[in-house]
A and B are shown apart, each in its own frame.
Chain A
Amino acid sequence: MIDASAIRRIGSLPFQKMNDETLVVDPKTREVHLLNPTASRVWELLATPQTLGDLVGSLGREFDAPAETLRADVTALLQELSGKGLIDSTGWRKDDR
Chain B
Amino acid sequence: MIPRDAAAARCRDDELVGMESAAALIRTAQTWAHDNVVPFNVSLETTLECNIRCIHCYNFDRDEPRARTRQSCRPAAAPERPRLSTDELLGLIGDVRAAGCLFLSLTGGEVLTHPDLFALLDRARELNMAVQLLTNGTMLRPGIAGKLARLPNLLGASVSLYGASAGVHDGITQVTGSFQRTWDGVERLRAAGVSVRLKYIVMRQNAHETEAMMAMATARDLPYSVDLTITARHDGSDGSLAARIDGSQLEALYRGPLRPLLPPGRRPPPPAETFNCNCARGNCAISATGEVYPCISVPWSAGNVRDRPFAEIWGRSPVFQRIRGLTLADFPQCAPCPHRGHCTHDRGAAFNATGDYTGADPFVCQTAELAHRLADESGD
The answer to whether B125 touches A25 (Cβ under 8 A) is no
B interface footprint on A1-25 (CB within 8 Å = 1, 0 otherwise): 0000000000011111011000101
Nearest-CB residue, chain A, relative to B18? A30
Nearest-CB residue, chain A, relative to B97? A16
Contacts A12-B125, A32-B19, A32-B26; A27 near B130 (Cβ below 8 A): yes
The answer to whether B28 touches A16 (Cβ under 8 A) is no
A interface footprint on B115-132 (CB within 8 Å = 1, 0 otherwise): 000000000010011100
Q: How many residues of B contact A (CB 8 A)?
A: 24
CA distance A31 to B23 in the complex (A): 10
Q: Does B154 contact A (CB under 8 A)?
A: yes
Q: How many residues of A contact B (CB 8 A)?
A: 15
Contacts A13-B152, A14-B128, A32-B22; A25 near B195 (Cβ below 8 A): no
A interface footprint on B130-149 (CB within 8 Å = 1, 0 otherwise): 10000000000000000000
Chain B residues whose CB sits within 8 angstroms of the CB of A93 once the complex forms: none
The answer to whether A27 touches B102 (Cβ under 8 A) is no
A interface footprint on B13-45 (CB within 8 Å = 1, 0 otherwise): 000001111100110110010001000100000
CA distance A25 to B28 in the complex (A): 14
CA distance A16 to B40 in the complex (A): 9
Chain A residues whose CB sits within 8 angstroms of the CB of B125 once the complex forms: 12
Q: Does B230 contact A (CB under 8 A)?
A: no
Contacts A28-B152, A30-B195; A13 near B128 (Cβ below 8 A): yes
The answer to whether B21 touches A25 (Cβ under 8 A) is no
Q: Does B265 contact A (CB under 8 A)?
A: no
Q: Does B158 contact A (CB under 8 A)?
A: no
CB < 8 Å neighbour of B100 from A16, A30, A32:
A16
Nearest-CB residue, chain B, relative to A32? B22
The answer to whether B102 touches A15 (Cβ under 8 A) is yes
The answer to whether B102 touches A25 (Cβ under 8 A) is yes
Q: Does A39 contact B (CB under 8 A)?
A: no
The answer to whether B32 touches A18 (Cβ under 8 A) is yes
CA distance A25 to B104 in the complex (A): 13
Chain A residues whose CB sits within 8 angstroms of the CB of B26 once the complex forms: 32
CB < 8 Å neighbour of A27 from B32, B100, B153:
B153
The answer to whether B152 touches A27 (Cβ under 8 A) is yes
Could you list which residues of chain A lie within 8 angstroms of chain B, going by C-beta atoms?
12-16, 18-19, 23, 25, 27-28, 30-32, 34
Nearest 4 CB-CB pairs, A to B? A14-B130, A32-B22, A16-B102, A12-B152
Could you list which residues of chain B lie within 8 angstroms of chain A, going by C-beta atoms?
18-22, 25-26, 28-29, 32, 36, 40, 100, 102, 125, 128-130, 152-156, 195
> Mind listing 9 A-B residue pairs with CB under 8 Å?
A13-B128, A14-B130, A16-B29, A19-B36, A25-B19, A27-B19, A27-B153, A30-B18, A34-B28
